[in-house]
Amino acid sequence: MRDNRLMERSWERRHRFVELPRAELVRLVSRALPGAAVVDARPLTAGLRNTNYRLELAGGSAAVLRLYVADPEACDREAAVVATMAGRVPAPRVLYSDATASPPFALLEWLDGLPLHEVLDGADAATALELAAVCGTALGRIHSRHFPAPGFLGREMRVVRRMPAWAPAVLATLEGPVEERLGLELAARVRATVESNAGRVEAVWSDAVLVHADYKPWNLLVRRETPGSAAEPDAAAPPASRAVPARGPSAWQLAGILDWEFACAGCKLIDFATFLRDEAARPAGFGDAFASAYLAAGGTFPSDWRRLTRLVDLLNLVQLLQSGDPQTTEDLRRLVAGTTGGT
């Protein structure tokens, strides 16, 4: 069995990385920050969709240039969502964006921090649970924004297109190549699972909050504060750049929540599913620490949230199967089987 901690990070990139000559990088930055000088530019290739460059600017500052090659509409949406979250959770400020460019692009604030997945992979049990709680607290704050119905957001943070119900969406996605990639027996188990749980899942699916929809450890930055360091947020810093302090004497803080392009009005368990997908590779109590901190931050969820979380995630898993990458298919089949009892 493959290590869950490495699974999704090994999946193939879904959209070609756009190689930009230095002159073009400089031109785009000059539009965003007139007079700013680019000292160095480095491709950030960890993502699977958009094209990102880390830019070193004169004076010692840094920024991220993002080209929205996967979904052009995400440029406006991400800017709107990040502005809404300012002062509530740490997210990179959008310094400039142009949704009319081809492709649309944005210049984002660079946030310093350690990728959560790297810290977790070397952490002891106590540290892992502490970090889980920090992330649960932040998610509770994100989910405090409610919507009248689940759907996809426009530039004004309003639902511009309704989200389909869970059961019909899963069953529709199964048709064609996805069923072939699952195999007939496992696909049949998915259908049976959906049909027997449709009513229960729909009850939580229709309760719409602001969902990050990609709340995974590699989209989360953390940092550790030591005695005598700047444990308290800098009052002069922009609200969105301040870390979310952990509760009590915790030394770890959440320094940044990245990649809001999938944000939508949706079921809160979508974020639970993505964050806890590799829970089996974490110390005992990791999910419970996350959930308890989420509740303490004002979040709510049903008593059978673990079972419902796995069911909600079925939609995401079968949609990801549409890519057809052999390694991705192997991993996804295993995850689907774990939910449905297939092999």
235-253 pLDDT, tens per residue? 334 444 445 554 555 589 9
Which are the contacts of 118, defined by CB distance < 8 A and separation ≥ 6?
none
Domain 4-109 and domain 114-160+189-340 have a common topology? no
- Homologous superfamily (CATH) of 4-109 is Phosphorylase Kinase; domain 1 (3.30.200.20)
Residue ranges of the domains in the chain? 4-109, 114-160+189-340
Give percent helix, percent strand, percent coil of the chain, each to the nearest 5. 45, 15, 40
* pLDDT at residue number 138: 98
Token reading at 25? 């990088």
Only one residue has tokens 């259908």, namely 191
Please state, as a whole number, how many other Cβ atoms lie within 10 Å of the Cβ of residue 326: 9
- Could you read off the pLDDT of 16-61 as tens digits, one per residue? 788 889 999 999 999 889 989 999 999 987 766 789 999 999 988 9
Stretch 191-202: mean pLDDT, rounded?
Answer: 97
- Could you read off the pLDDT of 198-225 as tens digits, one per residue? 999 999 999 999 999 999 999 999 999 8
Q: Is the pTM of this model over 0.85?
A: yes
- Could you read off the pLDDT of 268-316 as tens digits, one per residue? 999 999 999 999 999 999 999 999 999 999 999 999 999 999 999 999 9
Q: How far apart are the two ends of the chain, measured CA to CA in Å?
A: 13
Which are the contacts of 76, defined by CB distance < 8 A and separation ≥ 6?
97, 99, 104, 154, 155
The domain made up of 114-160+189-340 has a fold known as Aminoglycoside 3'-phosphotransferase; Chain: A, domain 2 (3.90.1200)
